[in-house]
Amino acid sequence: MAGKHARRAWLSVILVSLLAGCSQDRGFADLDRFMDETRAKPRGHVEPLPEFKAYEAFTYSAADRRSPFEPPVEVQLTMAEQPQENNVQPDLDRPREALENFDLKDLRMVGTLQGPSGDLYALIRDSSGGIHRVRTGNYMGQNYGRIVGVSETRVELIEIVPNGSGGWVERPRSLSLDEEQG
């Protein structure tokens, strides 16, 4: 038994001496010097990310006007060439709808709704702040404007206006979605 205790004592002495040898401050001078040099160097600067402008949607509102790349058309020549016999005329016997009391420039498209059967309705704000639901076939504007198409961003209509010589002509018009007013 005395031999077992002696072996344990020697093993403990060897372990303590190994630990004491490893704890001395030798061998770390180069590491300390490297750390000091690294700390002394100027620190890097990360550039901030560039700021991007947000995408702004553009609605082309001159689609119903003459292209600037085509020569102007003489108005007198066009009217003289048109046949005087024209079947276009407004239906004055039909009951007028609510939006026919407003000028077309006073009406704004503010959104759309889809009905349960898939029909697309346009939401139109009048000049007094009222919101009206319209669809293809409804009338709006003071020039007998009949709606011929409704999309998510646009209402297409055909107005019937006097041609200046006692007859009537059809004129395409449209209202685009008013994105400025949320």
- Give the separation between CA 110 and CA 178, rounded to whole angstroms: 6
Quick one: which of 108, 106, 111 has its CA closest to 122?
111
Cβ pair 180, 141 in contact under 8 A: no
Ordered by where they begin, the domains of the chain are 98-176 (2.30.30.830)
- Give the separation between CA 29 and CA 23, rounded to whole angstroms: 14
177's CB contacts (< 8 A; 6+ apart) are 59, 109, 110, 111, 112, 152, 153, 154
- Per-residue pLDDT tens, the chain, 182 aa: give them: 677 778 888 888 888 777 766 665 667 788 888 989 988 888 888 888 888 888 888 777 777 777 788 887 776 645 455 555 567 888 888 899 999 999 988 999 999 998 888 889 999 999 898 999 999 999 999 899 999 999 999 999 999 888 877 888 889 998 888 766 54
- Give the separation between CA 115 and CA 16, rounded to whole angstroms: 88
pTM of the model: 0.52
